[in-house]
Each structure stands twice: as C-alpha cells, then as structure tokens.
Amino acid sequence: MRPGHDARPVAVSGARTRGRKPAAARGPEGPWVLGIETGGEELGVALWRLPEAIGSAPTAWRLVDETTAHRGHQRADSILLMVDQALWRHGLAPRDLALVGVGRGPGGFTGVRVGLATAVGLALGLGVPAWPVASLEALALHAASGEDPDRLIVPLLDARRGEVYGAAYRARTYGDCEPVLAPRVATCEAVLSALREVAGPASAPALVFGSGAVTYQVASPVPPDWHRAAARHVGALAALAWDRAGRNAAAAPAVDPTYLRKSDAEIEREARDAG
C-alpha cells in the first residue's frame, strides 16, 4: 500500500468502475495519463498507460481504469476522491501521473468549471500539464472506430432552454476527428438543418447521439453509453495532442472553458438589469 493509505478509500456513492486487464506484451510502457470529464449528467475519471515511445498509435495504448458517478458529486473533493481510488487500485500515487486531460465543455456550467479547476490544481501541484479537450469531440469518439470514415458523427448534448450543444465530425481513425460542423448552441432542428446544408443530400445517414439526441428523440440506434461523455475519450484526446507535441508540457493550450452561451444566472441578471 502507498504511504498514508492503510485502507481502501471509501467509494463515491453511485460510482461505477471499469478497467481492462493488462494486454499482451506491447513493448516498454511509459507515462500515465488521467482523464477527467465533469460537464455532463455523469462525471468520470479514467487512467491510460501509454507506450514509452512517442508517436505510438492509440491501439498500442492501454485503458487501465474508468470510473463514473452521478452528477450530484460535481465537487472537487468528490473528483479527487475518484482519482485517488483509481490510482489506489493500481498501486499508483499522484506523482506517477504525467498528464491530466480535462473536458473544457460545452456542458453544465458548474460541472465544467469545477472539472477545469480541479484538473489545473492537480496538475500544478504535480508539475505536469493540464490539457483541455472539447467535450463534444470526446463524445464523438464513441463512434470513431475508423471503419466508416466518411460517415458523419453528430454528438448532441442537452443544453436546456430548448437547445442543444452540437457539432459534427468525420473520424478517419480513433482520435482523429475532422470537424464538419463547428460546435454551436441552438435548437436541435437548427443544428440538424445546418448539418444538412454542410453535408449535402447525398451523404450517408449520420450517427446522432448524446443526451440532446435522446431528449429530442433524434438518436440513432447506438449503445446506451454513447449518450454520455466518457473520461476515457477525454484522456485519449489529451494524450494524442500531447504525444503529437512531442510530450512537451510547454505546448499545452490555455485551460479555458467553452460555454457557447451565457449561464442562466447571467441571463437572469441581465433581464433584471434591463427591467
């Protein structure tokens, strides 16, 4: 056991854990990467193990652990406890992490804000980069197998107020998403209409999924977990960007949120001021 851990940490209520056993020999293993996603209906953390060599394909990576919990646990202490549990299960300490990937939104304002702050605080304390990634692109990775590279992938997140956060991608391989429709907030019909204009009538049927697709009943027949953003995809996108930058911490982008619209509190305050 790690120093200071004389018993297994108490589990976060409602948390679900998944992991993978070590695969066959893949060559020397290298850095550990943490993924954090907190902007959706669930929050999650995931651990990846990358090969020692820079530039290895994601198929050579190893997803070691992923845990999710209900949205009510969107507090920094709950997220850090989930991180601690994931590390504990594999005999690791925070100092073993080389990179912290985090979803930057769009998504729930509180969740995105808490997730970014937690990731930045953790990364600063460890002296490693925090790498933000687009939550819609991470959601799109559910369908990014590369088997049908021309098919449109349309992730939609429920944005409340009768709107969705939406975008569209084509995925050549896992993690290599080509933007087709830039992220936006609008009604579901407006997003799909914009997609039709961009894609044209000859396009194959798109894969549409996510909490917004479920809410407005436009979801394609996909596995249920595709409707939720996954920390494993957040970690993978961050690791890919970091790896392509030569694992250079100085290349990390600014950790800023992507909200796409004003918060309810801002809208209500402006309405009061206008009145």
Average pLDDT over residues 120-136: 97
Question: Are 212 and 256 within one domain?
Answer: no
Q: What is the mean pLDDT of residues 102-123?
A: 95
CATH number, residue 186: 3.30.420.200
Same domain assignment for residues 147 and 216: yes
Please tell me whether residues 159 and 97 are part of one structural domain. Answer: no
268 in a structural domain: no
Six token digits for residue 237: 């996108």
CA angle centred on 254, ends 249 and 260, rounded to 5°: 145
- Asked if residue 125 and residue 237 are part of one domain, the reply reads yes
Residues 251 and 126 reside in one and the same domain: yes
Q: What are the tens digits of pLDDT across the range 130-161?
A: 999 999 999 999 999 877 888 899 999 999 99
Measuring CA to CA, how many Å separate 72 from each of 13, 14, 108? Answer: 10, 10, 12
Same structural domain, 130 and 30:
yes
Arithmetic mean of pLDDT, 100-115: 94
Give all strands (DSSP E) within 12-55, no chain letters. Answer: 16-19, 29-37, 42-51
Same domain, yes or no, for 126 and 240?
yes
Domain count for the chain, please give it.
2
Least confident range from 71-80, 165-174, 216-225: namely: 71-80
Residues 246 and 200 in one domain: no
pTM (predicted TM-score): 0.86
Q: Which range (92-101, 130-139, 157-166, 258-267) has the least confidence? A: 258-267
Peptide bond into 106 cis (omega under 30): yes
Among residues 229, 247, 269, the alpha carbon closest in space to that of 42 is found at 229
- Supply 79's token pair: 């997220």
Q: Is the pLDDT of residue 72 over 70?
A: no
| CB 126, CB 94: distance < 8 Å | yes
Q: Does the structure show a pLDDT above 50 at 111?
A: yes
Each residue of 184-201: pLDDT tens digit? Answer: 999 999 999 999 998 876
Residues of the domain holding 123: 16-136+228-262
Q: Tens digits of per-residue pLDDT, 27-45? A: 589 999 999 999 888 889 9
Q: CA quadruple 209, 149, 142, 177: dihedral positive or negative? A: negative
- In the prediction, which pLDDT does 268 show? 63
Beta strand 62-70 pairing with 16-19: antiparallel
Are both 174 and 219 inside the same structural domain? yes
Based on the domain organization, do 242 and 115 belong to the same domain?
yes
